Amino acid sequence: MKQVYLSAAAVAAALALSGLPARAQSNEITIGISISTTGPAAALGIPERNALEFVAKEIGGVPLKVIVLDDGGDPTNATTNARRFVTESKADVIMGSSTTPPSIAVSNVANEAGIPHIGLAPFPITPERAKWSVDMPQPVPIMGKVLYEHMKAHNIKTVGYIGYSDSYGDLWFNDLKNQGVPMGMTIVDEERFARPDTSVAGQVLKLVAANPDAILIGASGTAAGLPQQELRDRGYKGLIYQTHGAASMDFIRIAGKSAEGVIMASGPVMDPEDQPDSALTKKPGLALDTAYEAKYGPNSRSQFAGHSYDAFKVLERVIPVALKKAKPGTPEFREAIREAFLSEHEIAATQGVYNFTEKDRYGLDDRSRILLTVKDGKYVPAK
């Protein structure tokens, strides 16, 4: 596993040249991040890692030591990484992972150890995980609602579903049942596939045979393009809906012409240019997208880059509050960060405006979502 340090080396060097004493190592704030930079979820984890180039290197005058480990999308690896952050790195904050199953694993370790955890993928925050975990991505019900409202407005009566055979797929199928069905939709077929699968031909044939008015795909990253392409290749003509887990340029690259006309829930970071100036997400979204595309090329912006970038936007608000109560590296500091998650409000970031509470560990509202479609190979606002 590759380990990357974004530390206070440059700050220490500058202080040495100025004749001022360098900060003691114990004064660094240590942040451990487990993400998936290899494996099926690499299309999510790589942008999350890349975005770390554009985040703060110190907060409240205290340097940040950021340690990034690859978990390959595997919950066992994510657990190992999280335990290393606890025992070896003495982390003040833990982040990760890139997909739902390893995020649950990281959250479990963080809550056992009493360390603030910031999730970078949608995952269920159960009572056991609620004390120390908050989550950056939009919760499924917020994103699902905008999709079902679009379905209802377009007179969709029957819906087919194909999604991952894991907790992310479950989250979306359950939401479709809980929100979509009461809005008038009938689910006519449910199909599943594993993240590493290279074919969904059998599942798609069943969906096409069911002939629903629309199909919802509960997948993420490049794998979301697999059923999208197969459905069009098999002649399906209805509307296809994708979740915010697919909102990246890689989806268009993989799905090709079949991406045309898709309806996709997304965070605002994918299109800050079309937001009103009054939107609190516009300024940070433009800042990230401008820096990211200057480094990685035009149209390289990513929903997933926004998640890790936003985690540091949150820390920029909560760490100064915590520093007034305790020093980094102590249980008191970790507790102060946990408390500051709840005391700080209207934290503006690229993907939404965060207001965490004891009961709402996602902290987002309708300002965290937009609706996109693909036209001529580019994302544009959907109607």
pLDDT-wise least confident of 19-33, 131-145, 236-250: 19-33
Q: Are strands 214-218 and 58-59 parallel, antiparallel or unpaired?
A: unpaired
Question: In the prediction, which pLDDT does 19 show?
Answer: 38
Does the pLDDT of residue 18 top 50, yes or no? no
Question: In the prediction, which pLDDT does 27 show?
Answer: 87
Question: In the prediction, which pLDDT does 13 show?
Answer: 38
Which helix (H) or strand (E) element contains residue 257?
Answer: none
4-138+294-366 shares its CATH topology with 140-266: yes
Instruction: Provide mean pLDDT across the span 196-211.
Output: 97
Does the pLDDT of residue 11 top 70, yes or no? no
- How far are the Cα atoms of 159, 169, 202 from residue 193, in angstroms, in the given order? 18, 9, 10
Question: In the prediction, which pLDDT does 250 show?
Answer: 87
Report the share of the chain in percent with pLDDT over 90.
90
Please tell me what DSSP assigns to residue 23.
Answer: P
Please tell me what DSSP assigns to residue 118.
Answer: E
Question: In the prediction, which pLDDT does 87 show?
Answer: 96
What does the pLDDT look like over 54-95, one tens digit per residue?
999 999 999 999 999 999 999 999 999 999 999 999 999 999
Please tell me what DSSP assigns to residue 353.
Answer: E
Sign of CA dihedral 321, 324, 325, 327: positive
Question: In the prediction, which pLDDT does 187 show?
Answer: 98
Sign of CA dihedral 195, 377, 233, 369: positive
DSSP states of 158-206 as a string? Answer: EEEEEEESSHHHHHHHHHIIIIIGGGT-EEEEEEEE-TT-S--HHHHHH
For domain 4-138+294-366, the CATH architecture is: 3-Layer(aba) Sandwich (3.40)
Q: How far apart are CA 33 and CA 45, in angstroms?
A: 11
Q: Which residues pair with 65 in a beta bridge?
A: 30
Q: How far apart are CA 165 and CA 118, in angstroms?
A: 24
Report the share of the chain in percent with pLDDT over 70.
93
Question: In the prediction, which pLDDT does 317 show?
Answer: 98
What residue spans define the domains of the chain?
4-138+294-366, 140-266
Does the pLDDT of residue 20 top 60, yes or no? no
Q: Provide the 3-class DSSP secondary structure of residue 5.
A: strand
Q: Where are the beta strands (DSSP E) in the chain?
A: 4-6, 29-35, 58-59, 62-70, 93-96, 117-119, 133-135, 158-164, 186-193, 214-218, 239-242, 263-266, 347-348, 353-354, 370-375, 378-381
What does the pLDDT look like over 340-383, one tens digit per residue?
999 999 999 999 999 999 999 999 999 999 999 999 999 999 98
Mean per-residue pLDDT of the chain: 92
CA 373 to chain CA mean position, Å: 20
Q: How far apart are CA 74 and CA 69, in angstroms?
A: 12
What's the pTM value of the predicted model, to 2 decimals?
A: 0.86
Does the pLDDT of residue 5 top 70, yes or no? no
Instruction: State whether CATH 3.40.50.2300 applies to domain 140-266.
Output: yes
Question: In the prediction, which pLDDT does 10 show?
Answer: 40
Does the pLDDT of residue 6 top 90, yes or no? no
Does the pLDDT of residue 3 top 90, yes or no? no
Does the pLDDT of residue 9 top 50, yes or no? no
Q: Provide the 3-class DSSP secondary structure of residue 119.
A: strand
Q: How far apart are CA 235 and CA 204, in angstroms?
A: 10
Q: How far apart are CA 77 and CA 323, in angstroms?
A: 32
Nearest in space to 148 (alpha carbons), one of 120, 172, 116, 119 = 172
What does the pLDDT look like over 126-181, one tens digit per residue?
999 999 999 999 999 999 999 999 999 999 999 999 999 999 999 999 999 999 99
Does the pLDDT of residue 328 top 60, yes or no? yes
Question: In the prediction, which pLDDT does 8 show?
Answer: 37
Question: In the prediction, which pLDDT does 221 show?
Answer: 85
pLDDT-wise least confident of 184-193, 229-238, 295-304, 311-320: 295-304
Q: Provide the 3-class DSSP secondary structure of residue 72.
A: coil
- How far are the Cα atoms of 38, 101, 304, 322 from residue 85, in angstroms, in the given order? 20, 19, 22, 20
